[in-house]
Structure 1
Amino acid sequence: MQLITCPWCGPREEIEFSYGGQAGVAYPEHPASLTDEQWAHFVFFRDNPKGPFAERWSHNAGCRRWFTAVRDTRTYRFLSSPTSNPELTS
């Protein structure tokens, strides 16, 4: 079992968390004006890098707060989290 460090609750088992997708994806300013193709691109198309990747995580079984962490997609290892990098917390 992998431990994920929640910035408010500390290290917890990964089953307490939910993955929220790529961090830093801005919601469209005028979503009603998007075409179906543009909307589908916003909803379904995300980066898929091999290596460090900024992601959103929710501590569902704990404080229920969201945070951003950087994880290496090759190893699943968390490289930084809000506790080691405070500007990632939001």
Structure 2
Amino acid sequence: MLIPHPLLGARDAQEFTYLGDGSLLDRPDGMANDAAQAFYEYTYLRDNPAGVHRELWFHEQGDRSWLVVTRNTVTHEILSAELARDMALRTRKGDK
């Protein structure tokens, strides 16, 4: 499987380490009134979808960047990949 790295082009998936659900970027506010419940759900309640899903991948054997890869978990087709940093900055600004 080739992952289209936004800076380096297509890279073999063996250069990467899969690190889980892309929703991990949406960390709850630790100061909110419902922080305990929010962190419980963030930590333990995960979906395991069949189909299109956002995932975190770490380019361990390359430039050590974090990517958010949108992939179909049934066909393994990769629909997009972007730097996690860019996605997190956009989310902070409210652009999602």
- Asked whether the two chains share a fold, i.e. TM above 0.5, the reply is yes
Equivalents in 1 of 2:29, 2:40: separation in Å? 15
Percent identity over the alignment is 32
Q: Look up the equivalent residue of 1:34 and give its one-letter code.
A: A
Alignment partner, residue 63 of structure 2: 63
Greater share of residues in helix: 2
Alignment partner, residue 94 of structure 2: none
Shift of 1:44: 2.8
Alignment partner, residue 22 of structure 2: 23
1:42-57 → structure 2 map (5 Å cutoff): 42-57=42-57
TM-score by length of 1: 0.72
Kindly tell me the number of residue pairs found equivalent between the two proteins: 83
- Uncovered stretches (5+) of structure 2, i.e. residues with no partner: 88-96
Equivalents in 2 of 1:24, 1:41: separation in Å? 11
Alignment partner, residue 34 of structure 1: 36
Higher relative contact order (CA 8 A, sep 6+): 1
- Uncovered stretches (5+) of structure 1, i.e. residues with no partner: none
TM-score by length of 2: 0.68
RMSD: 2.6
Equivalents in 1 of 2:14, 2:58: separation in Å? 11
Shift of 1:49: 1.2
